[in-house]
Structures are given as structure tokens and as C-alpha cells.
Amino acid sequence: MRRFFLIVFLTALLGLPLNSLAQDSSFGLEEGDGPSLLTAANTQAQPVQAAPAPAAPAVTAPAQATPDPVEAEPAQAAPALDQVSPPPAVVEPAPAEVGSAPTADVSVPAATAPVQAVAGSAPDSVEPVQVKPVPALVLAAPRKAGVGKPFLVRLTSDLPMESVLIRWQGREVVPSISVWNDRHVALAMLGTDVLTERPGKEELVVVASVAGKENTLRRTVRIAPEDYPKQELTLPEKMVSPPKEVHDRIAAERSRTTAAKDTVSARRMWRLPLERPVQGKILSVYGAQRILNGKPKNPHRGLDFRSPMGNPVKCVDSGRVILVGDHYYAGNSVYVDHGNGVVSMYFHLSEPTVKEGDEVRRGQTIGLTGMTGRATGPHLHFSLSVQGDLVDPAPLFTSTADKLLR
């Protein structure tokens, strides 16, 4: 008798993943999506996703409320072609957020789906064999993203994918592929840079090779205007217009920081949401249009966090330290590569506590807060490069992967 109950219990347990998968498959169905190949279970009423929220309300810039710590605009984005060598055969344990089933956005009919043998049918049966169409490839990506905002692209396949290549703004992104519940998932972070991007339409192209066949999926992403604040600041003149004798130094630093910012490595080590580097509130938001000593300058391409002198600064996720330097604008800086084109940067440190080449873990201290470089008071400037674009990091501290796919 007891054994019977044990079997019932085990059966229920085994059945569970299948049920939850079927329900999860309906997540993220977007209003206005074309016909989907998903089955009835996937077309149940969905809460229609509201348009992406405007800039997080928590990050309004109290420009004058504090002693206006400011610093450098990081190096200008040179539209570099980020190349990674062969599509990674990296199979990593899928981070939790990959777990949810794919959004039914664009499906490619299962050209490569194996014909399933019908049990019991005679080999010479004249009855047509029913080949049930399965969504072999499902692309999830938002149809709209604000200027400067990061977003995610996810490709899910029932069959192993030999390679996935994403084309975005002249760059080629090769996401690592992980396996979750017998599904093959490629997840990439993309975005635009407030310095260079204007509202309009951008084409996203995903090329995936599945069972020897190449599939191309396309998506138009509308880049919507964002209402970023203006910020007027007064600084020592040499920090606004650097004297001639430091021009060479600044140029040399820029080439090193640009190379670090454009780093693309094959293994994804980030997962969302990212961990905040410090707990203090945000003093200056990403995108703030800066007017320094009356002169319009580049927008602020990072977040300024309140952080007292000597406060430990934590790494937002695991990765590898690729640059530690003392730079004219940014002061003591640490750059950490999180893989697949995501690089985090920490500026104005009083001292870094890691060195180039170090492997760091999520939450590990990488330096102490300071006011080195162009800063009028201790604070942490944090920037995030995504495929070479400096994007607004704010949504990444609060959003799950699923939210950033819509």
C-alpha cells in the first residue's frame, strides 16, 4: 500500500515539469503577433504586456541635491565590429532566468523536425503519417526599446543548435547556447547608446543553424524617444577643457578603455537581475544631458551612486577583470568582462582591490569608493557596455530576463 502511494507521488512529480512547461509556453505572447504554431494551451488569455515602462521612477536626478559629483564621459563608442571566434559549443548550466519557456514571437516551422514514427502502423500503410508541426525555433525579442535602453533576445530550439549569430547595428553577436529541459537556448543582451542612437527603426537578424540547416529570423525593433533630464554643473575648468599637455594621455587611455569596452568573450557569465554595486541611491541617471560650465557636453552614460569614501564596491556579476587603470576623467577604474559582450565599469575608486586577469564572483569587492579623476565628491560612477554600446544599467538591477524580452 505504502509503495502504491510512493509510485503515485513519483508519477505526479515526474509529470510536473511537463505541466509547468506547457503553461510557461504561453508567457509573453504579444498583442498583434502573427499566427503562432503553438498549440491551444499556448493561446490562453494573457495579461497583455503594457508598453515598456519609462525610465524607472526611482532614478530621477536630484541634480542639485548633493555636491554634484561628476566625472568623465567614458570613451566614445567607435562602432567596432565585435567578432568572436567560432560559435561557442559552450554548454553551461542555464541560469534560472533562461528557464522560462520561450515567448511565442516568431516561430520557424519545423523543417528539420524528425518524422515521428506512428506506433503500430504497418510499414506499407497507405494512411498519411501525421507530422505534427512543432515550433523548432522560437525568437523572443521586444518590438520596441527606448533610446539607450538594454534589452534581451532569446532563441529557443527543440533541436540542438550548431550556431547562433545575431546581427545588430552592424555588429555580430554570438551568444552562448545552454540546454534547459531538453531545450536549447541562446540568450543575448543588446541595446543602444544614448550618445549615438536616434529614435527610429533598427533591424535585428538572427541566423541559427539547426541540424545542418540555416534559418534566418528577422525582427524590426522600434527605438523610441526617451525623456532624459538636463543637468547643469560647474567644475574646475581643467576638467571641462583639459590642458594640452594631457591630450596624449587622454588619447592613450581612450584606446585602452575602448578596447576594454568592446570586449566580447564566448562564455556568458551574467544573469539578471544584476547585483547593485553599492546600496546608495542614484544621484545622477543615465542619459542626463550635461551642460558643464555653460557648455553642452556628452550625455551622462552611466549611473552615479551615492557611496561614502572607502565604501566597498561590489561586482555586479561574475566575470574577469580586463582593465585596471588610473585615468584622467574616470580616475581609478576597474573593467570586468561578463561574457557575450557585457562589460561593467567602476570609476573614481579610491583604490582598486583586484588586478587585471582576476576572476571575480558576483558580489565580490573590486575596489573602494573614492573621488579620483573628474569628481567633485566621493561617489561611484557605474557604466555598462553591451556589445560596445554604453546602455542604461538601471533596468538590469530590477528586471528579470523575461521582462527584458518584451
Chain positions contacting Zn ion, by CB under 5 A:
71, 302, 304, 381
CB of 297 to Zn ion, least distance (A): 12
Identity of the residue numbered 69: P
Other Cβ atoms within 10 Å of 174 Cβ, number = 22
How far is Cα 262 from Cα 81, in angstroms, rounded to an integer?
9
| Residue whose CB is less far from Zn ion, 304 or 317 | 304
Rg of the chain, C-alpha, whole Å: 24
Q: 249-254 long-range contacts, Cβ below 8 Å, gap at least 24?
A: 249/328, 250/328, 250/329, 253/75, 253/325, 253/327, 253/328, 254/75, 254/76
| Residue whose CB is less far from Zn ion, 197 or 304 | 304
CB of 304 to Zn ion, least distance (A): 4
| Residue whose CB is less far from Zn ion, 270 or 305 | 305
CB of 172 to Zn ion, least distance (A): 30
How far is Cα 118 from Cα 137, in angstroms, rounded to an integer?
24
Which residue's entry shows cell 532614478? 59
- CA angle 25-31-37, nearest 5°? 45
| Residue whose CB is less far from Zn ion, 146 or 302 | 302
Query: Is residue 36 exposed (0-12), middle (13-18) or buried (19+ Cβ within 10 Å)?
Result: middle
CB of 302 to Zn ion, least distance (A): 5
Q: All 3 cell numbers of residue 203?
A: 533591424
| Residue whose CB is less far from Zn ion, 71 or 105 | 71
CB of 381 to Zn ion, least distance (A): 3
Nearest to residue 35, comparing CAs of 133, 115, 113?
A: 133
The set of residues, in sequence order, having a beta carbon less than 8 Å from that of 310 and lying 6+ positions away, is 350, 368, 369, 370
Which residue's entry shows cell 557648455? 295
Helix (H, G, I), strand (E, B) or coil at 255: helix
CB of 286 to Zn ion, least distance (A): 9
CB of 57 to Zn ion, least distance (A): 20
CB of 71 to Zn ion, least distance (A): 5
Q: All 3 cell numbers of residue 394?
A: 538601471
How far is Cα 399 from Cα 4, in angstroms, rounded to an integer?
44
Helices and strands in the chain, H and E counts: 3, 24
| Residue whose CB is less far from Zn ion, 151 or 329 | 329
Residue with nearest beta carbon to Zn ion: 381
| Residue whose CB is less far from Zn ion, 158 or 226 | 226
| Residue whose CB is less far from Zn ion, 151 or 347 | 347
| Residue whose CB is less far from Zn ion, 27 or 397 | 397
- State how far Cα 331 lies from the chain centre: 26
CB of 189 to Zn ion, least distance (A): 21
Nearest to residue 189, comparing CAs of 355, 334, 341, 43?
A: 341
